[in-house]
Structure 1
Amino acid sequence: MSEPLQLYSYWRSSAAYRVRIGLNLKGLPYEIVPVHLVQDGGQQHSEGYRAINPQELVPTLGHGQRRLGQSLAILEYLDEVWPDRPLLPATARARQRVRALALLVACDVHPLNNLRVLQYFEREWNVPQPERDAWVKHWITDGFAAAEALLAEHPSTGDFCEGETATLADCCLIPQIYNARRFGVDMAAYPTLARIEASCLALPAFDAARPENQPDAPAAR
């Protein structure tokens, strides 16, 4: 790899967490460039970062002169540029299943619980914290019920979402389970998801990507 990789990341961003997992699974070295989503009114809104990512979101992947946004698009880019240790399976059927499971999290659960949504509730409508927390838990449990049904007893489910190798689906699921635990979701209701989580977190690539193991995590200061 001739051009270095930089990941503009926030330690607790689940979208950035997905990309950290993917980079680690593929064995690609990268530099973390912290973007604090709360400090200074949110560093993602600064003029400097807006020039890097006009959406004012993390993650952004720097690859040479390129600045790449959207976590799932970044992960597929990694697979296309560095096809070794693929994040997507070999067959069209399996790739569709993995993408569907990934999108269940990335499109149907995560956007409803994103920081900017919760900040809007607080800023514009004065929604109290308990109601915001209930909103988050509702959409996580709604999505997890569907994910559990899709994964439990499915012949393609193995130690991971699809077979015996971690894929794009696992890159999305594990950060969302981290968020679920933050908001007090009882994972006992989702035994298949919890089992897959344990398989993933046993891998060094997932462990190194954990929020608490990031250079900008509060405990690391």
Structure 2
Amino acid sequence: MKFYDFYMSNAAYRVRIALNLKGLSVEQVIVDLVADEHRVPWFEELNPQRMLPILEDDGLTIAQSLPIIEYLEEAYPEPALLPAERGSRAWVRSFAQSIVSDMHPLMGRRVRRYLANQIGATAEDIDGWYRNWIAAGLSGLEGMLVARAETGQFCHGETPTIADTCLVPQTYNAQRFGCDMSPYPTIMSIVETCNGLPAFADAVPEKQPDWKPMEGVIPGQSRESK
């Protein structure tokens, strides 16, 4: 099994957690997004979208974090990352999609880069954009968790699910950009529980082999455009 990864990819972070929870070993291939390695011909041939993550397994090449995690759930079902009951599975998927489809696309590096390089947004403008959409998204997620009796130590019950694999990386990025997390006590309690598990703790960017400090790289810029 081969996994194309970059330490600061939020989407790849989700998959790293899922791989760890399932105890799966992979051959890790680093694709440095800041150095634009995703734009080289061999990677574009692998994934015409030029995006991470990518998983290769059993002759298959799978893109996008949630399809990868769903594939892992079907191919390697233990431990389960989806509840047994279909209504609960639907809720977990809905929660995960709220992050992956609604929040993350507004905050990704290519969006911040476009705001800076094409629209002329300042670092302060981009920071305001990021904080606005983080607050809107996390407020909704907090409400979803508070409203459900099934919310436990984790997003659903007492074991991690796909919902948690998506929540933890999103809150990591929010904290990285200095967002106020005090309005989201339920989220932060769940994140603290998750990060107490080795599967989550070992997936953090700082523990990846390609980790490097990101100081000096503002949200809208690459190293080359500084």
Q: TM-score, normalised by structure 2?
A: 0.92
Q: Deviations over 1:37-66 (max 9, x none)?
A: 111xx1111111111111100000111432
Distance 1:80 1:64 in 2: 13
Q: What's 1:216 paired with? A: 210
Quick check: which one's helix share is greater?
A: 1
Cα offset, 1:84, TM superposition: 1.1
Identity fraction in percent: 44
Q: What's 1:36 paired with? A: 32
Distance 2:114 2:21 in 1: 35
Q: Helix, strand or coil for the counterpart of 1:171?
A: helix
Aligned residues: 213
Cα offset, 1:153, TM superposition: 5.2
After TM superposition, which residue ranges in structure 1, 4 or more long, deviate above 4 angstroms? Answer: none
Structure 1 unaligned runs (5+)? none
Pairing partner for 1:52 from 42, 46, 61: 46
Distance 1:198 1:6 in 2: 30
Q: Helix, strand or coil for the counterpart of 1:27?
A: coil
Q: In the alignment, does 2:130 pair up with 1:127?
A: no
Q: What's 1:25 paired with? A: 21
Distance 2:82 2:121 in 1: 40
Q: Deviations over 1:5-48 (max 9, x none)?
A: 11111101110000000010011111221111111xx1111111
Distance 2:126 2:147 in 1: 34
Q: Cα RMSD between the aligned structures?
A: 0.9
Q: TM-score, normalised by structure 1?
A: 0.94
Distance 2:6 2:39 in 1: 13
Distance 2:80 2:48 in 1: 29
Q: In the alignment, does 2:201 pair up with 1:192?
A: no
Cα offset, 1:154, TM superposition: 2.1
Q: Helix, strand or coil for the counterpart of 1:125?
A: coil
Q: Deviations over 1:126-181 (max 9, x none)?
A: 11111011111111110000000110252100000000010000000000000100
